[in-house]
Amino acid sequence: MRPRQIPGKQIFTGFLEKDVLFGSAFLIRLTLVFYGVYQDRTMLVKYTDIDYQVFTDAAKYITEGKSPYLRATYRYTPLLAWILTPNIYIIDLFGKLLFIAGDLVAASLMYRILLLRGLDSRKACGCCAFWLLNPLPMTVSSRGNAESLVAGLVLGTMYYMEKKHLAKAAVLYGLSVHMKIYPVTYALPIVLHLQSSQSHEKGNTDVPKPRKVDGFRRFFLRLFSRDVLLFAAVAGGTFAALGLVFYFSYGWDFLEHTYFYHLTRRDIRHNFSPYFYMLYLTAESEWSFPLGLAAFLPQLLLLLVISFAYYKDLVFCSFLHTAVFVSFNKVCTSQYFLWYLCLLPPIIPLLRMSWQRAALLFLLWLMGQGLWLAPAYFLEFEGQNTFLLIWLAGLFFLFANSVILVQIIAHYRTGQVTRKIKLQ
C-alpha cells in the first residue's frame, strides 16, 4: 500500500500546482488593490503610491491632446502615459490591475525559463513562488508602480534569448531600454553571449588554441557576426523608432525627462544609496555635478568585470549586473530591488547553497533594510536629524548586499545550463 501523505504536505504540494499558485497570487494582489481603495478613503496615510497619481495626471494630459510633461515630476516615457489612458476613459484602477497582471506575466516567463533549464513543473512553481508570494512585488504593483512591466520585458528578453529567437528578444530588449534606462547595461553581456554561442555552434572548441593576437582578432570579428548585427539592428531600430516618434511629438522634454534627467540626477532625499549623504552635503557645491558623475565609476568597473566573467549564462550575468547597478547607484529605493529580484527565481536551481545559509543571507538583507528604515522613520515622521545614521545604515546595507552577491557567486554552479528546447 502507498503510504498516506501528511495533510500539511498534501496542501503544500497542491499549492505548487501552477493554476493554484498563480490563481492565489492574483487573488492576493487583487485584494490588496481593493484594500488600497479603502485605505485611501478612510486613512490619513495613503496606500496608493504617489507615482500612480503622477501617471494618471500625465495620462489625463494625453487625453486632452497635451504633453504628459506638463505634469511636474513625470520622469517617464510618454508610452506609459498612453498605456494608462484607460485610467481616464474607463476606471482609475486600470493601471493597478495592469501592473498586477504584469507581475503574473513576469512569473509566467520565469516559469518558462525554468522549464527550458530542465526543471519539472512543480519545482519551477516552487521557484516562481519566490516572486508570486513575495510581499515586495505584491505591494509595489498593487500600490500602482509600473516596475512589473519592465520586469516582464526583461524576462521576455531572457526567455527568447534562451529559445534563440533573437528578433523577438531584440524587440523586447529595445522596448525595455525605452521604458527604463538600466537594461542598457545588458548590452555587453548580450553581445558576448551571442558571439560565444555562435563560436560554440561552429565547433571551435576542437580547434588548437590560437596565438593571443589571433584570438583578439577573431574575438573582434565575432562582434560583427550575423547574430550580433541582427540583434543590434532590431533592438536599436525598436529603441530609435519609439524615440523618434515621441521626440517629434513632445520635443526636448521627452529626452530630458525620460533619459537625461536620470543620468544627471542627484537625489539628496534620504534613500538606500551610499552616496546620498555626500550628495546632500555638496548639493550647493560646485563639486556636486562631478561627484555625481564619479559615482558611476565603481558601477562601470564592476559591470565590465561581471560581463566578461559570466556572459555565458546570460540570466545569471544579468542578475549580477542589476544587483550591482542598484546597490552602487546614486539613488536606491525599495522598488529598485525588484529589478534584480525578478531575475533571481531562474537562477535558484543552480545555487548549491544550504537552506540555513540562504536563510541567514536573507535575514542579513532584511536586517540591512530594517537598520535603515528605523532612522528614516524618525527623520520623515518625527523631524529628527538622523541623516548620519541613515548614511551609516546605507553603508551597512551596501556591505550586506556585497556579502550576499559574493556568496551567490561562490555557490552558483557554473558550466553549461541544461536546456530542453525545441527549436522551431
* CA separation, residue 214 to residues 193, 199, 205, 211, 219 (Å): 20, 15, 15, 5, 8
Identify the pLDDT of residue 385: 86
CB atoms within 10 A of CB 104: 20
**Residues, the chain, total?**
424
Cell of 88: 481616464
Rounded CA-CA distance 189/314 in Å is: 7
Rounded CA-CA distance 391/381 in Å is: 18
Identify the pLDDT of residue 417: 55
Identify the pLDDT of residue 361: 95
Cell of 383: 523631524
* CA separation, residue 212 to residues 135, 189, 193, 197, 208 (Å): 50, 22, 20, 20, 12
DSSP 249-305: HHTHHHHIIIIIHHHH----S--S-TTHHHHHHTTTSTTHHHHHHHTHHHHHHHHHH
Rounded CA-CA distance 10/14 in Å is: 6
Instruction: Burial-class residue 291 by CB neighbours within 10 Å (0-12, 13-18, 19+).
Output: middle
Helices marked H in 90-225: 94-116, 121-132, 135-142, 147-163, 166-179, 187-201, 212-222
Rounded CA-CA distance 265/283 in Å is: 11
Radius of gyration of the chain (CA): 23
Report phi then psi at 144, rounded to 5. 105, 30
Identify the pLDDT of residue 421: 46
Identify the pLDDT of residue 267: 60
Q: What is the pLDDT of residues 42-99, one digit of tens each?
A: 998 899 999 999 999 999 999 999 999 999 889 999 999 999 999 999 999 999 999 9
Query: Three-state SS for 412?
Result: strand
The one-character DSSP state at 82 is: H
Give the type of residue at 254: F
- Sequence-distant (6+) residues with CB within 8 A of 148 are 99, 100, 102, 103, 105, 106, 137, 140, 141, 338
Identify the pLDDT of residue 275: 85
Angle between helices 187-201 and 212-222 (to 10 degrees): 110
Identify the pLDDT of residue 263: 72
Angle at 349 between CA 407 and CA 150, to 5 degrees: 85
Q: Can you name the residues that pair with 351 across neighbouring β-strands?
A: 412
pLDDT in tens, the chain (424 residues): 445 555 555 555 555 688 999 999 999 999 999 999 999 999 988 999 999 999 999 999 999 999 999 998 899 999 999 999 999 999 999 999 999 999 999 999 999 999 999 999 999 999 999 999 999 999 999 999 999 999 999 999 999 999 999 999 999 999 999 999 999 999 999 999 998 766 555 555 444 455 555 556 666 666 678 899 999 999 999 999 999 999 999 999 999 988 888 776 666 566 888 888 887 777 677 776 777 777 788 899 999 999 999 999 999 999 999 999 999 988 888 889 999 999 999 999 999 999 899 999 999 999 999 999 999 888 887 888 888 899 999 999 999 999 999 999 999 986 545 444 444 3
Give the type of residue at 265: R
Rounded CA-CA distance 368/363 in Å is: 8
Cell of 68: 504628459
Rounded CA-CA distance 195/222 in Å is: 6
